[in-house]
């Protein structure tokens, strides 16, 4: 800085404005560097002891609702979506306490057909996974290793492997054929009454609520081939009308929050993108270690896992892993009050998502019996619950504002997480060695650019919004966390200084204007360090 100011070309001398611009960029970088220190200062790395959780709380484990969102059967193929669903259904968790909801914003009968197939396949898949402790439990990921496993288990495992693989391939065939043809087989349509809901269907953007409880864990007949209960499985396509804005994923999540509150009402909600399968059957228990900790859990609103990807090559050319964020900065945020909510791979307490403020009574007594009873039959329940996913339900309510995920921001997750933290809650970041969730990263440059543009635009919007980390959050969250949020919210403007710094010096070099000190001077050493 001293060099830049003291050697600035005089008024009228060549290159003065380049120097001033460079000074501006360097001042900005200095300021940004201060912000990033908040993300590095106090890192927290967490470890869980799941066996202790089981010893103390096995009988009192809470109900967990898993929300999987999908929006387009061509970009997000149904076979991938159901692999994610199956990986969650096969969690090592009491099935009567587990419910999986698939929100289909495309309202596609192809996705419904695939889910129906998955509900049948689950009857064999879940017992198989549990018998051989299979990992990962997404069948698509599991069968990528085409040969039978060689890790013991003997003859029975090999024959079971071949049998289940055959079943999977047959199901995959049926689903992919239907997807390719764009229609489902007639006999399947006639066999399941769920398809009748598509009779009045007009288009992706104009249809009634379609809701079907495919497996009801309370039904004694819903069992797998070993006679064990299966987790609840629900398909939901919320109502869409052209005159009502649907608010993208946030709208879908809010409909799911309401619908699930009547069906299973899990105290804990896990949110997954449909391209992100669960890679660790114990992930739910990992997260519960934070929510059920006797000493420190009372203020934890959500537990965020990192976004990791299964389709990234070793060199990761688009930096999809975002290693600095995943392995450094989020641990730093955790030391300041907790990481951001980044949309997928996140466990929430239901009440905090619904807008509850933190106070001293916020602790949940997990050992108090909390049975979710319902009197109605499944059909009555479906009819009643449908109204909760209608377009008009949210009119004149606080949904999208004080309740549920916030509307109007391209990064609905980050702004929702921030507002939860501003209500006094903390979050936790868990980055275990075995990746808990694996997704698909954008694989082409245009896709990467679109995603990054959306994120930086969305984060910048948050800075200027009512919930700005710069002023609204002041006094509500720690200073470190405020600075941490600002760091991400300033991604977009940071590009101006970066662009200036990467373009102008090269142009000046061409014009013979010197911007940096001579190599042999001591000050040039400082520059090379920077």
Ligand X SMILES: O=c1ccn([C@@H]2O[C@H](COP(=O)(O)OP(=O)(O)O[C@H]3O[C@H](CO)[C@@H](O)[C@H](O)[C@H]3O)[C@@H](O)[C@H]2O)c(=O)[nH]1
Binding residues: 76, 105, 249, 273
Picking from 517, 493, 495, the residue whose alpha carbon sits closest to that of residue 505 is: 517
Give the helix ranges, DSSP H, for 133-247: 139-142, 154-181, 186-191
Which region, judged by CB under 6 A, interacts with ligand X, from 66-74, 171-179, 286-294, 359-367? 66-74
| Contacts by 524-530, CB closer than 8 A, 24 or more apart | 526/3
Which region, judged by CB under 6 A, interacts with ligand X, from 69-77, 140-148, 204-212, 518-526? 69-77
Secondary structure percentages of the chain, helix, strand, coil, to 5: 45, 10, 40
Which region, judged by CB under 6 A, interacts with ligand X, from 145-153, 195-203, 245-253, 459-467? 245-253
Q: State the nearest-atom distance from the C-beta of 299 to ligand X, in Å.
A: 24
Q: State the nearest-atom distance from the C-beta of 248 to ligand X, in Å.
A: 4
Given 216, 286, 413, 459, the catalytic residue = 413
Whether 142 contacts 88, CB under 8 Å: no
Beta bridge partners of 104: 70
Q: What is the 3-state secondary structure (H, E, C) of 479-526?
A: HHHHHHHHHHHCHHHHHHHHHHHHHHHHHHHHHCCCCCCCCCCHHHHH
The answer to whether 274 contacts ligand X (rule: CB under 6 A) is yes
Whether 487 contacts 481, CB under 8 Å: no
Binder among 22, 35, 53, 71 for ligand X (CB under 6 A): 71
The answer to whether 70 contacts ligand X (rule: CB under 6 A) is yes
Which region, judged by CB under 6 A, interacts with ligand X, from 64-72, 196-204, 348-356, 502-510? 64-72
Q: How far is CA 219 from CA 213, 233, 260, in A?
A: 11, 12, 17
Q: How far is CA 49 from CA 56, 120, 288, 300, 505, in A?
A: 11, 34, 10, 17, 53
Beta bridge partners of 347: 270, 303
Size of the site for ligand X (CB under 6 A): 16
DSSP summary character for residue 329: I
* Residues 441-470 interacting with ligand X (rule: CB under 6 A): 451
Helices vs strands, H then E, count in the chain: 19, 11
* Known binding-site residue numbers for UDP-alpha-D-glucose: 76, 105
Instruction: Tell me the residue number closest to ligand X, measured at CB.
Output: 343
Binder among 344, 352, 431, 456 for ligand X (CB under 6 A): 344
Binder among 281, 343, 469, 484 for ligand X (CB under 6 A): 343
* Residues 171-200 interacting with ligand X (rule: CB under 6 A): none
Binder among 214, 230, 411, 463 for ligand X (CB under 6 A): 411
Picking from 274, 119, 256, 113, the residue whose alpha carbon sits closest to that of residue 198 is: 113
Per-residue contact flags (x/-) with ligand X for residues 304 to 333, judged by CB under 6 A: ------------------------------
Nearer to ligand X by Cβ, of 157 and 419: the residue is 419
Q: State the nearest-atom distance from the C-beta of 442 to ligand X, in Å.
A: 7
Q: How far is CA 169 from CA 146, 226, 486, in A?
A: 11, 22, 48
Nearer to ligand X by Cβ, of 41 and 245: the residue is 245
Binder among 249, 258, 348, 423 for ligand X (CB under 6 A): 249
Binder among 32, 132, 201, 248 for ligand X (CB under 6 A): 248
Nearer to ligand X by Cβ, of 451 and 465: the residue is 451
3-class state of residue 341 by DSSP: coil
Whether 508 contacts 515, CB under 8 Å: yes
CA distance 440 to 109: 24
Binder among 80, 252, 303, 336 for ligand X (CB under 6 A): 252
The pair of structure tokens assigned to 402 is: 């004080």
Q: State the nearest-atom distance from the C-beta of 447 to ligand X, in Å.
A: 9
Reported as type and span, the H/E element at residue 412 is: helix 412-422
Binder among 35, 38, 39, 69 for ligand X (CB under 6 A): 69
Binder among 65, 105, 216, 286 for ligand X (CB under 6 A): 105
Q: State the nearest-atom distance from the C-beta of 491 to ligand X, in Å.
A: 13
Please confirm, yes or no, whether 151 is among the known catalytic residues.
no
CA distance 411 to 462: 9
Nearer to ligand X by Cβ, of 105 and 280: the residue is 105
Binder among 382, 394, 413, 459 for ligand X (CB under 6 A): 413
- CA distance between the termini of the chain: 12
Q: State the nearest-atom distance from the C-beta of 15 to ligand X, in Å.
A: 42
DSSP summary character for residue 63: P
* Known binding-site residue numbers for Mn(2+): 249, 273
DSSP summary character for residue 376: S
Q: State the nearest-atom distance from the C-beta of 348 to ligand X, in Å.
A: 13
Q: State the nearest-atom distance from the C-beta of 272 to ligand X, in Å.
A: 8
Given 65, 104, 105, 286, the catalytic residue = 105
The answer to whether 236 contacts ligand X (rule: CB under 6 A) is no
Nearer to ligand X by Cβ, of 293 and 457: the residue is 457
CA distance 70 to 110: 12
CA distance 263 to 265: 6
Q: Which residues have a catalytic role annotated?
A: 105, 413
Which residues contribute to the site for ligand X (CB under 6 A)? Answer: 69-71, 76, 103, 105, 248-249, 252, 273-274, 343-344, 411, 413, 451
């Amino acid at each position: 800085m001293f060099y830049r100011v003291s050697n600035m070309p005089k008024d009228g001398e060549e290159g003065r404005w380049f120097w001033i611009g460079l000074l501006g960029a360097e001042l900005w970088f200095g300021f940004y560097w201060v912000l990033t220190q908040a993300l590095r200062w106090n890192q927290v790395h967490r470890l869980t002891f799941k066996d202790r959780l089981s010893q103390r709380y096995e009988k009192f484990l809470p109900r967990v609702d898993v929300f999987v969102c999908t929006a387009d059967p061509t970009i997000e193929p149904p076979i991938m979506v159901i692999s994610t669903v199956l990986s969650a259904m096969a969690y090592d968790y009491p099935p009567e306490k587990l419910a999986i909801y698939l929100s289909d914003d495309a309202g596609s009968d192809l996705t419904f057909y695939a889910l129906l197939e998955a509900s049948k396949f689950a009857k064999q898949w879940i017992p198989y996974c549990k018998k051989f402790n299979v990992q990962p439990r997404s069948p698509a990921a599991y069968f990528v290793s085409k040969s039978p496993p060689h890790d013991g288990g003997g003859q029975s495992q090999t024959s079971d492997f071949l049998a289940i693989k055959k079943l999977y391939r047959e199901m995959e065939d049926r689903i992919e054929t239907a997807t390719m043809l764009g229609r489902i087989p007639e006999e399947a349509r006639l066999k399941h009454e769920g398809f009748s809901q598509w009779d009045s269907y007009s288009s992706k953007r104009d249809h009634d609520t379609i809701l079907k409880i495919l497996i009801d864990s309370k039904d004694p007949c819903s069992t797998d081939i070993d006679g064990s209960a299966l987790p609840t499985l629900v398909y939901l396509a919320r109502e869409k009308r052209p005159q009502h804005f649907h608010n993208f994923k946030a709208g879908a999540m809010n409909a799911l929050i309401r619908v699930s509150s009547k069906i299973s009402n899990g105290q804990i909600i896990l949110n997954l993108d449909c391209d992100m399968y669960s890679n660790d059957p114990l992930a739910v228990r990992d997260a519960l270690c934070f929510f059920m900790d006797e000493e420190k859990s009372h203020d934890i609103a959500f537990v965020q896992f990192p976004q990791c990807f299964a389709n990234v090559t070793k060199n990761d050319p688009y930096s999809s892993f975002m290693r600095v964020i995943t392995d450094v900065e989020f641990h730093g945020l955790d030391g300041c009050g907790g990481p951001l909510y980044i949309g997928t791979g996140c466990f929430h307490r239901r009440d905090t998502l619904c807008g509850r403020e933190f106070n001293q009574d916020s602790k949940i007594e997990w050992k108090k019996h909390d049975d979710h009873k319902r009197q109605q039959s499944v059909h009555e329940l479906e009819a009643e619950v449908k109204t909760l996913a209608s377009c008009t339900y949210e009119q004149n309510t606080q949904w999208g504002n004080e309740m549920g995920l916030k509307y109007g921001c391209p990064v609905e997750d980050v702004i929702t997480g921030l507002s939860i933290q501003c209500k006094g809650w903390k979050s936790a970041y868990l980055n275990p060695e075995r990746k808990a969730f694996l997704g698909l990263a954008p694989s082409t440059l245009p896709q990467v650019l679109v995603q990054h543009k959306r994120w930086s635009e969305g984060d910048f919007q948050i800075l200027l919004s009512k919930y700005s980390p710069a002023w609204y959050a002041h006094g509500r969250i720690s200073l470190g966390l405020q600075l941490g949020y600002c760091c991400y919210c300033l991604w977009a403007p940071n590009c101006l200084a970066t662009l200036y710094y990467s373009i102008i010096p090269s142009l000046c070099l061409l014009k013979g204007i010197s911007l940096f000190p001579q190599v042999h001077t001591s000050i040039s050493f400082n520059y090379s360090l920077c």
